[in-house]
Amino acid sequence: MSILSGKHILLGVTGGIAAYKTAFLVRLFKKAGAEVKVIMTKEAEEFVTPLTLSTLSENPVLSSLTDEEKNWNNHVELGLWADFMLIAPVTANTLSKMASGNADNLLLTTYLSAKCPVYFAPAMDLDMYKHKSTKASINTLVNYGNKFIKPGSGELASGLVGEGRMAEPEEIVQFLEKDVLSQLPLYGQSVMITAGPTYEAIDPVRFIGNHSSGKMGFALAETALKLGAEVILISGPTNLKLVNSNLKLIAVQSAQEMFEAAKSYFENVDIAIASAAVSDYRPKQQFDDKIKKKTELLTLELEPTPDILKYLGSQKNNQILIGFALETSNEIENAKSKLERKNLDFIVLNSLKDKGAGFKTDTNRIRIITKDDILRFDIKSKTEVAADIFDQILKMNSK
């Protein structure tokens, strides 16, 4: 999952040979999960066809202020629709018009109407790029708050070798992703999250476990990623999937494996959230062969598993440490005791008595308990619950 997933990207294409690269650019944006609309200048149509870009973007390509029936293509609505506007390639001609406020085509009127961040990736020959007027246009656009994607060096259409090649599509997408991430509140911070159940083996086919699905932990991980964090997700057995370049997913089975993983990463993270439903006990003896069913009673001797959260609390330095408590009785008192004993910054309490809360559900109802306060929330989706938890973390992070 890319930070661009679900975002609206408005791509402006002007008349340079590098326009052929926009087919690959649209494809990469779509692969990242973004919705893409394309505006072309008439000159750009000489280099790449509207049909190609409309097919790849799955949206009509616009190039004039009115359509064939003389209906107005609303540049204001296009500018408001976009989360990000990218003009690539942008020629020296269009650079000059953008800098001066010239609005003689749909692309330029939309640019002047845009309320979102605007990125521009120049492409032109070496001498044109070096010209003082081009440099002045670029500086003006940057001073206006636009984001400059520097061209690369290489062989140019004229046969010269030097600066002026439009950045490659992969570089442009990476530039946008990095820039968007850098504006987010958890950019540059790392978050470790434990999720799901643990399975404690009895024999090769049987285990002691619980009903945790991992949904809460994965929702927390997804929220942290959207806030710009690097995430280490240590997950017990679950069918859930989450893919992101800023995610390190570590699959474990037992409480001991989860403990070892958490122990190895905790020192270097900024925030740790222990949302996993870790088994409190494991069989003292694990059988190498499957236990055969017999008529007499089978007695298993259990021993405690490592207390992961207590260990993390004892090692805590400057980290924010969050725990979870699932209770069935004396809920507030038990949660407060856990908060104190395990040296937590706050604890998230949920109860199996609340309808729609607990294991395997898509919803949860929580209370956030700090040393000084109890925050109560209505039943919500686990995605919304994760947002509430990170709202509290961000308040602590800003102090």
Tokens (6 digits) for 149: 């994607």
Start-to-end C-alpha separation, the chain = 31
Using omega within 30 degrees of 0 as the cis cutoff, is the peptide bond preceding 117 cis? Answer: no
Tokens (6 digits) for 132: 């003082």
The pLDDT-based confidence of 351 (bands split at 50, 70, 90) is confident
* pLDDT tens figures, 186-236: 999 999 999 999 999 999 999 999 889 999 999 999 999 999 999 999 999
Q: Does the pLDDT at position 295 exceed 80?
A: no
Q: Does the pLDDT at position 67 exceed 90?
A: no
CATH of 8-182, one of 3.40.50.11540, 3.40.50.300, 3.30.2320.50, 3.40.50.1950: 3.40.50.1950
Report the pLDDT averaged over residues 297-302: 90
pLDDT at 70: 61
Cα–Cα distance, 270 to 320 (Å, whole number): 6
Cα–Cα distance, 119 to 150 (Å, whole number): 10
Q: Does the pLDDT at position 68 exceed 70?
A: no
* pLDDT tens figures, 94-104: 999 999 999 99
Q: Does the pLDDT at position 357 exceed 80?
A: no
pLDDT at 150: 96
* Percent of residues, the chain, with pLDDT higher than 90: 80
Per the model's pLDDT, the better-predicted residue between 355 and 64 turns out to be 64
* pLDDT tens figures, 114-171: 999 999 999 998 889 999 999 999 999 999 999 999 999 887 777 777 788 999 999 9
- Considering 38-47, 293-302, 321-330, the range whose residues carry the highest mean pLDDT is 38-47
- pTM of the full structure: 0.85
Q: Is there a contact between 28 and 173 (Cβ–Cβ < 8 Å)?
A: yes
Query: Is 210 labeled as catalytic in the residue annotation?
Result: yes
User: What is the domain partition of the chain in residue ranges?
Assistant: 8-182, 190-288+295-397
Mean pLDDT (the chain, rounded): 92
Q: What is the DSSP string of 350-364?
A: EETTSTT-STT-SEE
pLDDT at 60: 93
Half-sphere exposure at residue 294, Cβ-oriented, CA atoms within 13 angstroms: 7
The pLDDT-based confidence of 298 (bands split at 50, 70, 90) is confident
The fold for domain 190-288+295-397 equals Rossmann fold (3.40.50)
Tokens (6 digits) for 112: 């002047």
Positive or negative, the CA dihedral 48, 54, 58, 61 is positive
Catalytic residue among 210, 334, 343, 397: 210
Q: Does the pLDDT at position 385 exceed 90?
A: yes
Q: Does the pLDDT at position 21 exceed 70?
A: yes
* pLDDT tens figures, 246-281: 999 999 999 999 999 999 999 999 999 999 999 999
pLDDT at 69: 63
β-pairing verdict for 230-235 and 200-201:
unpaired
CA of 322: how far to CAs of 194, 342, 393, in Å? 11, 10, 9
Same fold, 8-182 and 190-288+295-397: yes
